C-alpha cells in the first residue's frame, strides 16, 4: 500500500475506533443499516457481486426477493462495520468489554464433552454474523482457541488486529506461515483450532465440492487434520438477533464416519453444513465475497452456447 494512503487509513481507523468506543449499541443498530444502504448505492462492484451470488444461489426468491435480501445484506455490513471498529479502539480493555456485553455463548457443553477426549477440537464455522465476536466469546468462555486466518497487509493493520484478538484470549495461525505443523501440535495438546469453510480455497488446499448446487473450490484440510490427530469436529455458527445480541451456538460433535478418510467427502459434508447455516440466516452472510471463482453457472453456460451457434 502507498505509504501516505497507509498512514491516512491508520489515522482514520484510529479515530473511528475512538469514536465507537463511546457509541451506545442502540446507535450502532440504527446507524449501521443506514450506512449499509448508502454503501449499496455507492459500491457498484460489490453490489453486483452480491446480487449475482444471491440470484444464482437462491433462485427461488425471485427478483423482488433478491432485491430485498440484497438490501438486508448491506444493512448487515453496516452494523458489522461498526462492530469491527471496536477492534481499533485505543482504550485498553475496551474490545474485551465490548465483546462480553455484545455476544453470548450457547452450547459450551458440546465442546466440553469433545475436549474431555483429550485429542483436541476442530471448530468449523463461517463468515456469518460476526465471526470475530464468535472467536472472542468462545475464548473468553474458557476454550483454548487458535484460529487459522490470513496475514493482513499493511503490517500495522495485521498487528492491530492481532493485538485485539489477543486481548480476548485467542491466538492465530497464519496461512502464509505453513501452519500445518502448528495445528497438529495444538491438537495433540488438547487445544482447539478454528477454521471457516465458506471462502474460496483453490488447490492444493482446496477441493471442488457442491455448494449451493455447484462445485466450487473449498478448504479441504479439516477432515485430514481430524483423521491424523483424532480430533473432534465441532460446528459453530453465529447470528445477530433483532435485539443486537450476537448469539454464538456451538453444535454437537459432527460424526463424519468413513468420510474422515476422504478429504473431498469430508469437505462436502462440512460445506453442506455451512450452506444450511447460510440458508437459515441469508442476510448475515458475505454475499459480496467472490466465493464462486472459476465456476460456470447454468445461465452462463446457456448464454455461451447460444452465442457460439
Distance CA 147, CA 130 (A): 14
pLDDT the model gives residue 177: 87
Average pLDDT over residues 282-291: 97
Report percent pLDDT > 90 for the chain: 88
Looking at residue 251, what DSSP letter applies? P
As a whole number, mean pLDDT of residues 130-149 equals: 96
Is-contact 214 297, C-beta < 8 A?
A: yes
Could you list the residue range(s) of the whole structural domain that residue 221 is in?
Answer: 3-292
Residue 309 falls inside a structural domain: no
Task: Say how far residue 18 (Cα) sits from the centre of its chain.
Answer: 25
155-192 burial, b at 16+ Cβ within 10 Å, e below that, comes to: eebeebbbebbebbbbbbbbeeeebeebbbebbeeebb
The cell 450506512 sits on which residue? 35
Number of domains in the chain: 1
CB 266 within 8 A of CB 259: yes
Q: Residue 307 domain-assigned?
A: no
Neighbours of 138 (CB within 10 A): 28
For 191-227, how does the pLDDT look when each residue is reduced to its tens digit (9 = 90+)? Answer: 999 999 999 999 888 999 999 999 999 999 999 999 9
pLDDT at 301 over 60: no
User: What pLDDT was estimated at residue 254?
Assistant: 95
Inside any domain, residue 141:
yes
Kindly indicate the confidence band of residue 2, based on its pLDDT and cuts at 50, 70 and 90.
confident
- Does the structure show a pLDDT above 50 at 303? no
Per-residue pLDDT reduced to its tens digit, 38-49: 999 999 999 999
Residue 297 lies inside a defined structural domain of this protein: no
Please report the pLDDT score of residue 1 as a whole number. Answer: 74
Q: pLDDT category, 297, cuts 50, 70, 90?
A: confident
Compute φ and ψ for 293, nearest 5 degrees. Answer: -70, 140
The mean pLDDT of the chain is 94
Q: What pLDDT score was predicted for residue 269?
A: 96
Q: In this structure, is residue 300 part of a structural domain?
A: no
The pLDDT value given to residue 238 = 97
Q: pLDDT (tens digit, 9 = 90+) per residue, 89-134?
A: 999 999 999 999 999 999 999 999 999 999 999 999 999 999 999 9
Instruction: Report residue 22 as a C-alpha cell.
Output: 463511546
Are 227 and 88 in contact, with CB atoms under 8 Å apart?
Answer: no
d(CA 51, CA 53): 5
Query: Domain for residue 144, yes or no?
Result: yes
Residue 233 has pLDDT above 60, yes or no: yes
CB 104 within 8 A of CB 114: no
Rounded to whole angstroms, the Cα distance separating 144 from 164 reads: 16
How far apart (Å, rounded) are the C-alpha atoms in residues 129 and 92? 25
pLDDT digits (tens, 9 = 90+) for 238-286: 999 999 999 999 999 999 888 888 999 999 999 999 999 999 999 999 9
Q: Beta-carbon neighbour count of residue 241 at 10 Å?
A: 10
Mean pLDDT of 301-309: 38
Amino acid at each position: 500500500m502507498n505509504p501516505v494512503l497507509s498512514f491516512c487509513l491508520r489515522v482514520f481507523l484510529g479515530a473511528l475506533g475512538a469514536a465507537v468506543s463511546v457509541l451506545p449499541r442502540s446507535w450502532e443498530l440504527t446507524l449501521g443499516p443506514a450506512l449499509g444502504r448508502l454503501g449499496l448505492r455507492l459500491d457498484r462492484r460489490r453490489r453486483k457481486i452480491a446480487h449475482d451470488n444471491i440470484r444464482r444461489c437462491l433462485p427461488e426468491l425471485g427478483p423482488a426477493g433478491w432485491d430485498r435480501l440484497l438490501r438486508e445484506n448491506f444493512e448487515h455490513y453496516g452494523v458489522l462495520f461498526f462492530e469491527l471498529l471496536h477492534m481499533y479502539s485505543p482504550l485498553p480493555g475496551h474490545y474485551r468489554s465490548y465483546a462480553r456485553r455484545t455476544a453470548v455463548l450457547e452450547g459450551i457443553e458440546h465442546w466440553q464433552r469433545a475436549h474431555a477426549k483429550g485429542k483436541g477440537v476442530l471448530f468449523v464455522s463461517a463468515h456469518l454474523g460476526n465471526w470475530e465476536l464468535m472467536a472472542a466469546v468462545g475464548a473468553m468462555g474458557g476454550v483454548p482457541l487458535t484460529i487459522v486466518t490470513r496475514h493482513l497487509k499493511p503490517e500495522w493493520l495485521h498487528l492491530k488486529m492481532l493485538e485485539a484478538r489477543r486481548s480476548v484470549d485467542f491466538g492465530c495461525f497464519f496461512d502464509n506461515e505453513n501452519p500445518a505443523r502448528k495445528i497438529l501440535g495444538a491438537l495433540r495438546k488438547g487445544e482447539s483450532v478454528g477454521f471457516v469453510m465458506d471462502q474460496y480455497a483453490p488447490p492444493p488446499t482446496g477441493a471442488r465440492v457442491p455448494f449451493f448446487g455447484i462445485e466450487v473450490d473449498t478448504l479441504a484440510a479439516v477432515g485430514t487434520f481430524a483423521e491424523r490427530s483424532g480430533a473432534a469436529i465441532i460446528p459453530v455458527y453465529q447470528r445477530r438477533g433483532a435485539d443486537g445480541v450476537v448469539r454464538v451456538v456451538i453444535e454437537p460433535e459432527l460424526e463424519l464416519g468413513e468420510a474422515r478418510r476422504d478429504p473431498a467427502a469430508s469437505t462436502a459434508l462440512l460445506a453442506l453444513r455451512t450452506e444450511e447455516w447460510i440458508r437459515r440466516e441469508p442476510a448475515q452472510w458475505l454475499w459480496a465475497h467472490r466465493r464462486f471463482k472459476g465456476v460456470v453457472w447454468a445461465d452462463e453456460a446457456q448464454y455461451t452456447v447460444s452465442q457460439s451457434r
